[in-house]
Structure 1
Amino acid sequence: MDAAWFEAKQPVVGIVERTRTDGSDDADTRSIRVDDALEATLESADATSVCGDLEAVLAAEPSLLVAAGESTLSAVARANPDVPVLPVGNVPGIDAVGHDTLPAALEAALTGDGTIRQRSVLGVDVDDTTRDSERSPVRALFDVSLVTDEPARISEYAVSSRGDLIATFRADGVVVATPAGSHGYASAVDAPHLSPAVDAVAVTPIAPFVMQTRQWVLPEDGLALTVERNDTAVRLVVDDRPVATVPVDATVTIAVDGTLSMLAVSETMLESD
């Protein structure tokens, strides 16, 4: 549910430096610059800013975060902050503001014209005796994939939802996408696009051996992926980050692990600035 947001006294705006992951290819590669227009916005709202990497920015206890690009938003989601984030740049599936309109968007947010929209974040864990059982689940804002290490090397996967087997299939991999992620990489493998209004994920085989293999829209909790058979190593990739090698019969469990609060500003507010 959308909700208004307003920080009454001397807000601190945390501007997060861009985070890149190996192999990432964000559509918008620009960092956020604190230029004269942004400085004027901060001054008029009696606000201060702190810039730096995510850890340093969070240590300053900001009132809100400003983050550009998919990789940076993923890093923010993994950190699980208790303040909202204003997304910047061209991020598929996310209502982000442009670099040029950031000062106007930030002014609107700081004067109470921003709206908080909650985005589901998935918690991903591997049920495998070789892994530390005390490790916390990895958090995913966009997608979770099982993929073979070598291109065109097919493995066999199973998908279960809330204890019921949905399907088994042979493919190069399988991707589970949140509503945000369904507009990104998952769309390249023809995953259905999901509205953020639905509590669901899109599950799609990657390069399936049988072309008629189905795609599924499933509840966002109680999901399990299993490698049934493999001829090469299978990697678990979370928001474009390789996080583990998954052996045969190990189960990857996926469930909602909270939300990320995102600030949205209407186009009307930006046009009237």
Structure 2
Amino acid sequence: MHAAWDGDDSPVVGVVDAETAAIDAIEIDTALESVVADADGTITSGTLETVLAAEPSVLVTGGEATLSAVARAGVDTPVVPVGPLTGIESVDRRRLPAALEAVLDGRAVRRECPVLGVTLESTAGDERDVPAISERALFDVTLITDEPARISEYSLRDRETDIATFRADGVVAATPAGSHGYASAVDAPHLSPSVDAVAVAPIGPFVTQTRQWVLPTDALTFAVEREESDASLVVDGRSVGAVTVDSQVSVSLADSLTMLAVPDV
């Protein structure tokens, strides 16, 4: 969905500190301060928790990891993503003051990016008391063997219908944004932002000629049918748990993250 963003009177601009690397940090310089002051606004910066406590009108994030953290937090505050981001319409760091001026003037356009809900849970019934793990993904969800070149057997289901069973090093499901990143390296289809679907592809398949899929985001299930090595669940680049033959991973649409784009800057 694309629609204009009207902005707020006396806006609060929240600049979220990068979580992983200084290279992704946003410098609050005099040019940025001047733009916000001209809009009768204020700037707050710090960790995501600190920034959200100030009830910002708009968030500014640098880098993929910080943007992913915002998606995990489930915020409904619109975001201006900064820096080179594959699959995301972002702002060049040098053009941030001009872009933020356009945002605060109400010249930005909303882009709704899907966020996936991911659940890892045991299928062993009452035999194991293993709590489910719930995560959110803005880019991709990956099941991957922990040892390189140790192939396991994976299954894929869509709305209780068997889609495929294949032997591979892993499998990835990517949102339209994520389909242009790691998933593209394993030949997953590139998806338009306007498509309500995920791109799914095996990683290092045992059979060279394998299928890739474009599937709806309402009820996907992944499982390890036979394991020759431990497998991990990786969500937006973060390892979140172990996947065994006694567990399954469910993926469905959770909500969306609103991004603000300024096409003329």
Do both proteins adopt the same fold according to a TM-score greater than 0.5, normalized to the shorter chain?
yes
Q: Which of 152, 158, 164 is 1:167 aligned to?
A: 164
**Displacement after TM superposition at 1:163 (Å):** 1.0
Identity of aligned residues (%): 57
**Is residue 97 of structure 2 the alignment partner of residue 95 of structure 1?**
no
- What SS does the aligned partner of 1:108 have? helix
Q: Secondary structure at the match of 1:100?
A: helix
Match of 1:203 among 200, 205, 214: 200
Give RMSD over aligned pairs: 1.3
Superposed CA deviations along residues 122-161 of structure 1, whole A, max 9, x for unmatched, are 000012154325x5x2000000000011111100000111
Q: Secondary structure at the match of 1:91?
A: coil
Residue 144 of structure 2 corresponds to which residue in structure 1?
147
Instruction: Work out the CA distance in 1 between the residues paired with 2:72 and 2:24.
Output: 21
> Cα gap change, 1:176/1:106 in structure 2, threshold over 3 Å: closer, same or farther?
same
Partner of 1:225: 222
Alpha-carbon shift at residue 6 of structure 1 (Å)? 2.1
User: For 2:50 and 2:2, how far apart are their aligned partners in 1?
Assistant: 29
Q: Distance in 1 between matches of 2:139 and 2:129?
A: 27
- Answering whether residue 130 of structure 2 is matched by residue 131 of structure 1, we say yes
Amino acid at match of 1:111: D
Unmatched segments (≥5 aa) in structure 1? 21-25
Question: By how many angstroms is 1:120 displaced?
Answer: 0.5
Query: Which of 108, 111, 117 is equivalent to 2:105?
Result: 111
Matches within 5 A, 1:1-273: 1-20=1-20, 29-128=23-122, 129-133=128-132, 137-266=134-263, 268=264, 270=265
Q: Return the TM-score normalized by structure 2.
A: 0.95
The residue type paired with residue 92 of structure 1 is T
Matched residues in 2 for 1:219 and 1:249: separation?
A: 25
**Count of aligned pairs between the two proteins:** 260
Once residues 215 and 74 of structure 1 are traced to their aligned partners in structure 2, the CA distance between those partners, rounded to angstroms, is 25
- The Cα shift of 1:19 comes to 1.6
TM-score by length of 1: 0.92
Q: Supply the distance in 2 between the matched residues of 1:172 and 1:8 (Cα, whole angstroms).
A: 49
Which residue type is aligned with residue 76 of structure 1? V
| 1:162-186 deviation line (CA, Å, top 9, x unaligned) | 1111100000000000000000111
Say if 2:109 and 2:262, in contact at 8 Å, map to a contact too. yes
Q: Distance in 1 between matches of 2:24 and 2:166?
A: 40
Runs of 4+ in 1 over 2 A off after TM superposition: none
Q: Residue in 2 aligned with 1:23? A: none
Q: Aligned letter for 1:83?
A: T
- 3-state secondary structure, aligned to 2:200: strand
Shift of 1:30: 3.3
